[in-house]
Amino acid sequence: MLTSITEGILCCLTGKAASLVLPLESSEPSDGFEFVEVKPGRVLRVRHIVPERQPIETEKEVDACNDSDTSSSVHCKRRITVYRNGQLVIENLGDVLHSEILQCQDGDLEPCSTVEVELADFKEIKPAPPPRRRRRKPKRTVVIDSKRVISSCKGTHSDVALFFVHGVGGSLDIWSSQLDFFSRLGYEVIAPDLAGHGASTAPQIAAAYTFYALAEDLRAIFKRYARKRNILIGHSYGVSFCTFLAHEYPDLVHKVVMINGGGPTALEPSLCSIFQLPSCVLHCLSPCLAWSFLKAGFARQGAKEKQLLKQGNAFNVSPFVLRAMMSGQYWPEGDEVYHAELTVPILLVHGMCDKFVPMDEDQRMAEILLFAFLKVIEEGSHMVMMECPDTVNTLLHEFFLWEPDMSRKDSSKTDAEKTVAVSDTLHTLKINKVMDK
């Protein structure tokens, strides 16, 4: 800690930024690691594991899967209306799906089907009624009308790839348990280090760490490794990038997993934050910040958690990168409407002890999304995939293999006409997708 304070004082006196994070020697074997230049001088470390498969059997399985996809074709149709008072009204007009995913009894994928509707629905009853309300004019209306094929994704399918995206201060090493588990099951896995994190290069300009700059990096990685069916798994800030890619490539993204990602709100940096302090000051405070992250990111702070933090190379970024990352979280397009437009099935995983992301934010996300499951892990916190790897791996695998039950599709047509109203001031929403452990 004394060394950090000394370096911070020298940084302030010389006017130079603290030393930036440089490529690290990974404890993992060199096999499976690649360095990809997404832009000139901007190199990301990527762990890419391609399992050995039997080509003949794989192709037969893929063809058989494609032939049976017609039974899982879902008509995604919804009208999203935004009024000037901030009210969001979602009308689901497409198919209603039913499933028994993750031991959820009668899991109805139609979001918020039991929500009270708050609309201008006043009706005249007496000859001399009160003055009628003026009919509100919508500020914005978005219509989604498409068909999506939802099928099981097995590790033996050569057209399936899993992308893992970490958040601020993390690295691809936080996914070690997931990468090893799914690669052993035969999945092709891809996990990059964001710029300035892990073993990726760290540019010395703040503009290199804005949301849009990082999103373009991940777009390049996605286009390089994408298969026909891709599943995106994001953690914390990484969830926003997965949402961006799912919105940009709806035909290529098959499913999405959001782990402690927060609510469906547009991103903007906080002006009153400790991360707005100069980099040299943050450098002095780095030991305190690391300890605070350990306390807030893990349900327990024992020797095991400290070792996990060290092995995962988490929160091992320079103060300059950390400050630029927090200040660059500006994404005005990522509002509730943006999320409501997604038609991809989504699994939400929330650690009950998470001190960074409140439970109600993930509940709000489940309300807005079209096809979403919310799973709460009681003993987990923000770094739930490191704390409870077996539980998380099981949840993810079951979700990858899940496909909707269309047997009750015809009998549910009347339910498909239900209207969902979501108001920022009215929180009478009921979620029937939250599953206890």
C-alpha span between 291 and 21 (Å, rounded):
19
**Contact call for residues 345 and 256 (beta carbons, < 8 A):** yes
- For the segment 309-338, the average pLDDT, to the nearest whole number, is 85
190 assigned to some structural domain: yes
| Contact between residue 372 and residue 348 where contact means Cβ atoms under 8 Å apart | yes
According to the model, what pLDDT value does residue 358 have?
94
Average pLDDT over residues 139-167: 94
- Domains in the chain, number: 1
Catalytic residues: 236, 354, 382
Distances from the Cα of 87 to the Cαs of 29, 154, 211, in angstroms? Answer: 52, 40, 27
In the Cβ-directed half-sphere of 355, how many Cα atoms lie within 13 Å?
9
How far apart CA 214 and CA 195 sit, in angstroms, is 7
pLDDT(239) > 70: yes
**Contacts of 166 by beta carbon, 8 Å cutoff, 6+ apart:** 172, 174, 175, 191, 193, 194, 197, 235, 236, 238
Task: Flag whether pLDDT at 343 surpasses 70.
Answer: yes
**Beta-ladder partners of 89:** 81, 421
Q: CA-CA distance, 360 to 362, in Å (whole number)?
A: 6
Who's near 114: CB < 8 A, 6+ residues apart? 430, 432
pLDDT of residue 31: 65
Residue 116 lies in a domain: no
Most confident of 40-54, 62-76, 137-151, 255-269: 255-269
Q: What's the pTM value of the predicted model, to 2 decimals? A: 0.80
Q: 101 falls in which pLDDT band (50, 70, 90)?
A: low
Read off the pLDDT of each residue in 236-251 and give the average, rounded to a whole number.
97
Query: Average pLDDT over the chain, rounded to whole?
Result: 77
Residue 125: pLDDT above 50?
A: no
Asked if the structure places residue 57 within a domain, the reply is: no
Distance CA 400, CA 153 (A): 5
Domain for residue 333, yes or no?
A: yes
Q: What is the mean pLDDT of residues 99-126?
A: 39
Q: Once rounded to an integer, what is the mean pLDDT over residues 65-79? A: 71
Return the pLDDT at 305.
75
| Arithmetic mean of pLDDT, 401-423 | 58
In angstroms, rounded to a whole number, what is the distance separating the alpha carbons of residues 400 and 391?
14
Q: Are 241 and 214 in contact (CB under 8 A)?
A: yes
Handedness of CA 83, 89, 94, 97 (dihedral sign): positive
- Among 283, 154, 161, which Cα is nearest to 232's? 161
CATH number of the domain that 303 lies in? 3.40.50.1820
Is residue 95 included in any domain, yes or no?
no
| Distance separating alpha carbons of residues 263 and 247, to the nearest angstrom | 16
* CA distance readout (Å), 77 to 304, 357, 405: 47, 30, 18
Residue 187, domain extent: 149-401
Residue 139 lies in a domain: no
Question: Which residues are paired to 161 by β-bridges?
Answer: 188, 230
Flag whether 88 is in a domain. Answer: no
Query: Residue 7's pLDDT is what?
Result: 38
Domain annotation covers residue 321: yes
